[in-house]
Every structure is written in C-alpha cells, then in structure tokens.
Structure 1
Amino acid sequence: MTQVDLEPRYVVGIVCFIGLISAPFLLPILTLRQLTAALFLGMFAMSWDYVSGYTGQLSFGHSMFFGIGGYTAAVLNLELGLTPVLAILVGTIAAGIAGLAVGFPALRLEGPYLALITLIAPLVLVQIVNIFPGTLGGDAGLPSPAGLVSVDEPIGILSTIGFETVFVHETIVYYYLALALFLAIYALFYVFTRSYVGSIFTAIHEDEDAVRSVGINAAKFKVFAFTMSGTVGGLAGAAFVHTAGEPNPGEILSIVVSIEVVLVSILGGMGTITGPAAAGIVYYFVRDALQTSSLTIPVLDATVGHISMALFFAIALLVLFFLPKGALPWVTEWSRDILERRSQRSESPS
C-alpha cells in the first residue's frame, strides 16, 4: 500500500475546516457570533488580496466597496421594503459598478497616486453619509435591516431520528450562512488565482510592460481585477449587514476598516488568498481579546484593554519583522522542509 504524505499545512487546513464546520457544537453562542463577524473580515481581506496582492495595484480604501454594498442593501430594505436577498443582490451590483469605476483610473495611475485615489473615495462616502443623516444615518449609522432569517425565537427542526425536536438558534443559522459565503468566495478566488488569469495578474505585478509585449491586454485584466474585487467585497458587506453587523461607518466604511484589511492581508501573506482569509479570523479574536482584557501591566500601570491597539500594532510589527512575507509563506516553507526531511529519512538506508 502506497503511503501518502501530506504537508503539515494541508493537515492544519483540514483540521481548521473541520473545526469551522463543528464550531456551533463546540462554542457558546456569543463566541459563535464573534466567529461569524471574523469570517466577514476574512472575506473583506480576500477581496483586497485579489486585486492588490496579485496585480500590485495598491488600494488603501477598500472599505468603499464594503460600504457601498452594505449601505445600498440596508437602504433598499429599510426605505423601499426590498427583501434581504434582493437588497443584497442590488448592493453587490452597485459595488461591482464602483469597482469598475475605480478600475479605469487604475489604467493611468499606479503606486502612490492610485493608492491616494482609493484612500480618498471612502472618505468622500463617509461625508456623504453625514450629509444625509435622515437616509443614511450619519455617524450613528442605520438601524439593522431585516435579517436573512427573521425569527424571534429559536427555530424548531424535527429530527429524522426518533422524531425529536431540535432547536437551532438564529445565530447558528447566520454562522453557517457566513461560513458558506466565506468558503464560496475562497473557492472562487482560489480557482481564478490558480488559473491563467492569476498567472497574468502576477505577471502584471512583476512587469506590466513585458505582459503588453506579448500581446496581452493588461488594462482589461486590471479593470477585471478591480471589478471582481469590488463585487465580492460588496457582496460580503451587503450580507454582513443582514446577518452579523449593522450599517454604520465604524463597521464597514471607515478608513480604519481599510487599514485593518491591508494589515491582515500583509500579516497573512499577500498574494496567497489563504493567508488573508485565515489571518482575518485570527486578527479579529486577537484584537477582541486585547480590547476586553482587564489584565494590568505593572510597569505602565494600565490595563491591556486600555492600550490594546498599541500592543496589537507592536505584535504586528514583530510578526512583519520576523516574517516579512507573511505567516502563510513561512508555514508553507516550514511544512515543505518537514516533508523533505521525512522523505530523505525514508530513502536513506537503515
């Protein structure tokens, strides 16, 4: 019988997948709600990595797409009475159009100039939200729109075994909806980045002139990257406000959200999709643990929660210093070294 040796990173991936599937049976409801929100942060990070990690077109205002998707869906549901599914669909399309609109300036600009445009865009949207507080809620945001699953009590499901009634909390339903969307977005980006499209994206990142010299329309792929990234980011933002969050600037539109997404992607490993997806989940819980910690630091005479952001950024700097390419590339290298040493030991004579 042939023995199949899996790299440790694949084993970790399988364990994490099983853990995500089993989370509702292992975690309390409050933690499950946090994990649901963390999945959305992972989705946001993947949408950024798709365009910036692969093509090198730096976007420092990706919250624009999350905000357009989320606010469009929320307003359509609250003001016009559209169903959540239809509101999410329209919000996704609106964000895709915004991605297309940003993609065209990206044909003429690059580096800090493109980054500046993407940085200004969400700031303009925040001002628009404040100008129309009656419709868009201002700094406080809008009230929560209708949920994808609208129930006031736990959902009763009749078991096929013994006809016992099993009650499922709404939070569990939202969690599995978020997990399904997370996995679908991951699969979509994974397939695209591993196809010829991903190869062209990487080539554009490394040498756009060389791509043009072989007759490939680099402009078309750059616009496509922004459009697809915006569409997926808008989908995640629209689904977020109908499941795990609220349509307010602090959660989906502020510049802080954009910075967090960039930081998460760099820490996880730019240009990998898997790294930002996983780092988004880890980042959410590490940040929350630091913010809610009441542990006192003797020398500073302050609680960890009081200086949580300073501590977090210090940790991030240490990670970037020791792992400049991000966590996933390091894990990949480490797992391959283990597999290679294992192979050498099995081939060496006893």
Structure 2
Amino acid sequence: MASTFPLIVQEHSRVHRAITIAVFVAVALAVYLAPFVLPGFRLNQISGALVLVIAIVGLNLLSGFGGQISLGHAAFFGLGAYTTGILTVDHGVPVVIAMLLSIVVCFCAGVIVGLPALRLQGTYLALVTLAVGILFPTLIRRFDDLTGGSRGLQDISFRPPEGLAYFSGALGRTIWIFWAVSIALALCCLVVRNIMRSGLGRGIVALRDKEAAGVVMGVNRAFVRTVLFGISAAIAGVAGGFFAVINGIITPDSFTLLLTINLLVGMLIGGSASFWGADHRWVRRLLRAGLVVRHHRRSDLRRAVRSDPHRVDLPVPERYRRWVEVFDGKGAQDRARDSCIARPPRRRPTPAAHRVRTGHRRDHRT
C-alpha cells in the first residue's frame, strides 16, 4: 500500500485555502473556549504573556525584518504604559482612547529616536538606543508630579462593556482583557504582515540586505528608516498600554534594561524575521497546507535546470515549477535556479598569458 505522506498540496489551491481557514478557526475556537477551561489566574498569566508577544512583534519588525538593533524598546513599552495610565487616572480619558493616543505618542517618539539611524548603524545605533532605554526610568522619577515618581501610577482599570453576559461575573474583567489582548495581537500581526508585503516592506528588506543597492534602486532611506522605528515603537506602545491595565499599577522599575533583554531573547528564540516562529519550516508546512516535498524531487529539479547551465535567465520547467514553489515558497524559483546553475569550468591561463599578467615578458629585441 502506497504511503500518503508526505502530504503535498499546491499553494493557493482549494485544499490549501480550506486548511488555512481551518487552522484559523481552530485558533479562534481555542481563544473562545479558554475562559471556560482555564482558571482566572491562568488567563491573567496568558494575557501578560500575550502582551510581551505584542512587544516582540514590534521589535521583530525593527530588528528582525529591518536589521536595526534596538536596545531601548523598553522605553517605548513604558511610554505607552505611562501615557495610558496618566490619561486614564489623572484626566479620566477612556482606556480605548488613551491607548490610541499612546500609539500616536510612541510613534512620534520612535521617529525621533529613529533619526540617528540615518547616520548610525550596528553597534553605534545599539548604543544610542541603549542610552534611551537607560534614561527612561530616570526621567520617570524626575517628573514625579506627572508620573508619580518611584511610587508609580495606581488604579488603572479596563472594565468590560456593560450588558454582555459573557463578560459578567467575578472573572468578567479578566476574560475581557484576555479577549482584548488576543484581538490586539492578531491586529498587530496582521499589520506587520501587510507592511512586509507592501512596497514599504520591500524597501525595508532592501535596506537590510544591501543598503547601497536599495538606495540606487530608488528606496527612500530616510523615510523607510524613520517610519520603521515609528511603527515598531507604536506596536510597543500598544503592549505597554495593555501592560498598564492588566497590572493596574506601573512603576519605573518595570521598564528597565532587563525588559529589553527579555524581549530580545524572546525574538531570537521565537525566530527573527519570521511570521510563524523559529521552526518556520515545519510550522509553515503545517499552517500553510502541509507543504512537504520529497528529497528526490529536488535532485530531479537540479538535473532539469542544469540541462542549460549557460543561461542566467533559465526558467524552471513547468513540471517542476510547483515543487519549487511548495518547497521554498515565494521567490524560490530564483533561488533554486541560482543554486542549481552549474558554472562553466575555470580555464587555466596559458604560459604566455601568465607571463603577461605577472609582468614577466621576454624582450625579443636583440
């Protein structure tokens, strides 16, 4: 009996769409049923973890996809938390509006911090962002009339809407925050995914891989770098706002350098420059319709491509096209073609050419 594994499904087919929809329905169902299965303190822990995931999504956009090292992301996280707390506690602004305003404030702060990225790279940019992250708790303590100093801000709450039985009871607030954080995380992931698939995302990748080539191709380096910092800071501000309403109290000690290190470690373990995680190969195969390919198919592809090794623009044969798309995804045909093209053998120089190249020429004049 022939084995049915590995499962081979062509991308963008009906089966692929059906499996993708089924995965998202399963995730939504798990989120819906979690409050009925888990106790309240577990839901609170999961909500706190999802808040950190939102911040890591923003950091991944900047450091993973953009290649810009940031050691001050805790400052944007804390700025969003304090903006939400100050507007909610001191001025009575609704939490949703306060979070939206915190996104704007963090975006502007990210653009300002991103201006040095136009001149600095690598270690020097990391030192600038590190200075921002270290100075943030000191500034919070300095303006104690506004931020509460070392005592922090208290009584920050996010009450569920009235009249909904699903969010009623003793655990109504915990369930409401869990749902709000889950929806916010999904929206942030969707925003990052759409950005990386747009012209701005292509410019971000171009500047990360080869800045000079990206500038020559017409990428506006100043606009892309500043907007990249701003969007990443805005996503961190969203996480900071939810951090404030989950804990109910915020202090300067919550936004130290240790938080930035935790975010960086989470990004590296989870997989930088990846939507699906560190093990993106098998996760993509599972979530994107089980795209698995037998190894002998790749060898067949190489033999087919090497049939004409001197053509740089050699197209992949039609019978192997879907295997390449399934195996490597978008842009795989170019990578497979470049890796499979056999270079012509290097010719050894003749003795005469060697003497001319090295300057050892005989003088035939008598």
- 1:250 and 1:104 mapped to 2: Cα distance? 27
Q: List per-residue Cα deviations over 1:62-91 (Å, max 9, x = no partner).
A: 011111111122122222332323322222
Could you state the TM-score of these two structures normalised by the residue count of structure 1?
0.71
Q: Report if the CA contact (8 A) 1:267-1:327 is conserved.
A: no
- 2:293 aligns with 340
- 1:194 and 1:179 mapped to 2: Cα distance? 23
- 2:349 aligns with none
Aligned partner letter, 1:79: D
Identical columns (%): 28
Candidates 224, 228, 232, aligned match of 2:227: 224
Q: Report if the CA contact (8 A) 2:88-2:94 is conserved.
A: yes
What is the CA distance between 1:273 and its match in structure 2?
3.7
- 2:82 aligns with 71
- 2:266 aligns with 264
Residues 1:328 and 2:339 aligned together: no
What is the CA distance between 1:140 and its match in structure 2?
4.3
- 1:25 aligns with 36
Within a 5 Å distance, the mapping from 1:1-350 to structure 2 comes to: 4=15, 15-145=26-156, 147-149=157-159, 157=164, 167=169, 169-244=172-247, 246-251=249-254, 253-275=255-277, 326-329=278-281, 331-332=283-284, 339-341=292-294
Q: Report if the CA contact (8 A) 2:75-2:133 is conserved.
A: yes
- 1:321 aligns with none
- 1:40 and 1:244 mapped to 2: Cα distance? 11
Unaligned 5+ runs, structure 1: 160-164, 276-325, 345-350
RMSD over aligned CA atoms reads: 3.2
Q: Report if the CA contact (8 A) 1:9-1:332 is conserved.
A: no
Q: Report if the CA contact (8 A) 2:48-2:246 is conserved.
A: no
- 1:214 and 1:49 mapped to 2: Cα distance? 25
Q: Report if the CA contact (8 A) 1:33-1:244 is conserved.
A: no
- 2:225 and 2:24 mapped to 1: Cα distance? 30
Aligned partner letter, 1:339: V
Q: Report if the CA contact (8 A) 1:69-1:235 is conserved.
A: yes
Q: Report if the CA contact (8 A) 1:142-1:247 is conserved.
A: yes
Q: List per-residue Cα deviations over 1:145-187 (Å, max 9, x = no partner).
A: 2x22169xxx76459xxxxx97462111111111111111111
Unaligned 5+ runs, structure 2: 1-12, 298-366
- 1:331 and 1:274 mapped to 2: Cα distance? 6
The alignment covers a number of residue pairs equal to 284
Q: List per-residue Cα deviations over 1:272-323 (Å, max 9, x = no partner).
A: 1443xxxxxxxxxxxxxxxxxxxxxxxxxxxxxxxxxxxxxxxxxxxxxxxx
Q: Which has the larger radius of gyration?
A: 2
SS in 2 for 1:64: helix
SS in 1 for 2:15: coil
Q: Report if the CA contact (8 A) 1:54-1:202 is conserved.
A: yes
Could you state the TM-score of these two structures normalised by the residue count of structure 2?
0.69
